[in-house]
A = this chain, B = another copy of it.
Amino acid sequence: MTLIRPTERTTLHRMPQRASYDRALLERILDEALYCHVGLVVDQQPYVLPTIHARAGEQLYLHGSSASRLLAKASAGIPICVTVTILDGLVLARSVYHHSMNYRSVVVLGNAVEVTDQNERLAALKAIVDHVIPGRWNDVRGPSQQELKATRVVRLPLAEASVKIRTGPPIDDENDYGLPCWAGEIPLRLERHSPMPDPRLAPSILVPDYATGGR
């Protein structure tokens, strides 16, 4: 098992049994999550924004419009935080206090840099598209020079990061197990439903497998 070295900032002090620094597990969570939340600071105010990410090896890539002021800030090397959370279930305990959620989350801290090498930029954009819909990149028109110019790509190393996980049934106080209320887990899953063709799609064009498959 390859471990990520915990730092003071990524060490979980509370509920350390929920923490993990297993790199393979961290990568699986990042790969399964369809989007992340990026935190960055401007004039002492934190901002948290949802965006798509992709992992390639030990790097995390984000992208956005070249005109985005926040992404420009992020790419200038200020500290950022990227968090992904996959909600797996609601945990219903016998007391209010022990109610919880089952989840898998990853927190990555670090300083992003803008990617300027054109090959790396293209590879990152392909990774982002194919992360969400594997195989999609090769089926559609690639980016034009103008579109590439309008897109900023930033890279964050997966160097300072931690995983937090909760699984399983509620953990009740021993005295509460005799209470007459239901207790257990309600599993949650983000499901893909039947694809809705673009109103302007030619009827002869069939839905590709990657748009119908469950996840």
What is A's interface to B at a CB cutoff of 8 Å? 9, 13-14, 34-35, 37-41, 44-50, 52, 65, 67-69, 79-83, 85, 87, 90, 92-97, 99, 101, 103, 105, 107, 109, 125, 129, 132-133, 136-137, 139-144, 147, 151, 169-170, 172, 176-177, 179-202, 205-208, 211
Contacts and interface: CB of A to CB of B under 8 A. Distances in A.
Contacts of A188: 34, 190-193
A96 B81 contact: no
B85 A35 contact: yes
Contact of A182 (B101, B185, B206): B206
A107 B183 contact: no
Nearest to A122: B96
A207 B67 CA distance: 52
Given A38-B48, A211-B92, A198 B184 contact: yes
Given A136-B99, A196-B184, A46 B79 contact: yes
Contacts of A79: 44-46
17 contacts: A34-B87, A34-B101, A52-B101, A87-B190, A97-B151, A140-B181, A169-B196, A169-B200, A181-B205, A182-B201, A184-B196, A185-B195, A185-B198, A187-B192, A187-B196, A188-B192, A190-B191
B169 A183 contact: no
Oligomeric state, in copies: 2
A67 B190 contact: no
The secondary structure that dominates the A interface is: mixed
B191 A189 contact: yes
Contacts of A101: 34-35, 52, 132
A95 B48 contact: no
Contacts of A37: 37, 39, 48, 83, 85
B40 A46 contact: yes
A186 B41 CA distance: 33
A15 to B, nearest CB: 9
Query: Top 3 closest A-B pairs, CB basis?
Result: A39-B46, A39-B48, A48-B83
